[in-house]
Amino acid sequence: MEPRGLMGGFYRISEWIMRLAVINLLWIITALPFMFLVFFLVFIYPQGITEEALVQHGILAFLMWPIITISVLAPLTLFPSTAAMFTVARKWVTGESDVALFKTFFRGYKENYKQSMIGGFIYTILIVLMVVNYFFYRDQMAIASYIFLAFLALLFASLFNYFSMLVHYHMKTFQLVKNAILITIGKPIRSLSTVMMCGVIIYISLFQLTFLIPFFMGSLVALVAFWNFNLIYMKLQEQAEKLKQSEEEAAEEAAELNREELLKDNPNDSNK
């Protein structure tokens, strides 16, 4: 029996802390090769790069190796593990808070692995193209570089919707990517709020409270992102129902008008 009152509140808080921590740890473990690569690229790789080498060869030359390795590892490890994390977040947001964590996570990992991997390669290719073009045009055409930077921000913002749609709909991968980008463009305020809230969580985790990284950062981002997406989904459902209702009413009115016209054309039938 669940305790009530103050103790019940502490119990529910501790239960949610445990849920978020478990899912975040599972996310990190299943994406461990990518996490090790990021650690190496952030803390070890830059130490061998001097300012003279940057001036001589350009920053793009030193980014090629990290871009290639990330482009291979991210779709194979990070994207499937993130899809599994969003699978659990979906259960929480839709009211199934007592769902089995390990079973739901690894079921989501298995069921969505292929589609999340393919979507990961699509997103990675698009992001790499934007990054390379941004650095290429940065010193030549400032306006063009800002355009590619805007597209890059759009792609990153649509990733939240992509993972949410991946675990919520049964669609082909290209449809998921396309619809995720379209929803991001079509619902800019909601998409911006998702980016801002998730950005705050990531910023605090990376620069203020680093202990959040292994225990809460990923799971909190997934929970916030799917909660926001669910609001978009419910709004779209409401609009679809209103549209359907208005179409049915219009069809009924048209049928009534047709019946009245038929009665006018056949007065003898109406007298009968």
Q: Is the pLDDT of residue 249 over 90?
A: no
Distance CA 131, CA 57 (A): 17
Whether 148 maps to a domain, the answer reads: yes
Q: Is the pLDDT of residue 59 over 80?
A: no
Q: Is the pLDDT of residue 263 over 50?
A: yes
Whether 202 maps to a domain, the answer reads: yes
Q: How far is CA 213 from CA 16, 20, 47, 73, in A?
A: 16, 11, 23, 20
Whether 126 maps to a domain, the answer reads: yes
Cβ neighbour number for residue 183 with a 10 Å cutoff:
22
Number of domains comprising the chain: 1
Q: For residues 235 and 22, which has the higher predicted lDDT (pLDDT)?
A: 22
Q: What is the tens place of the pLDDT at every residue in 111-168?
A: 999 999 999 999 999 998 888 888 778 777 778 888 888 888 899 999 999 999 999 9
Q: Is the pLDDT of residue 270 over 70?
A: no
Burial of 71 (0-12, 13-18, 19+ CB in 10 A): middle
Distance CA 85, CA 144 (A): 36
Whether 187 maps to a domain, the answer reads: yes
**pLDDT confidence band for 268 (50 / 70 / 90):** low
Whether 263 maps to a domain, the answer reads: no
Q: Give the pLDDT score at 241.
A: 82
Closest CA to 154 of 111, 183, 115, 120: 183
Count of all residues that appear for the chain in the document? 272
Q: Is the pLDDT of residue 76 over 70?
A: yes
Task: Provide the domain limits for residue 173.
Answer: 5-246
Whether 254 maps to a domain, the answer reads: no
Q: Give the pLDDT score at 239.
A: 83
Whether 256 maps to a domain, the answer reads: no
Whether 58 maps to a domain, the answer reads: yes
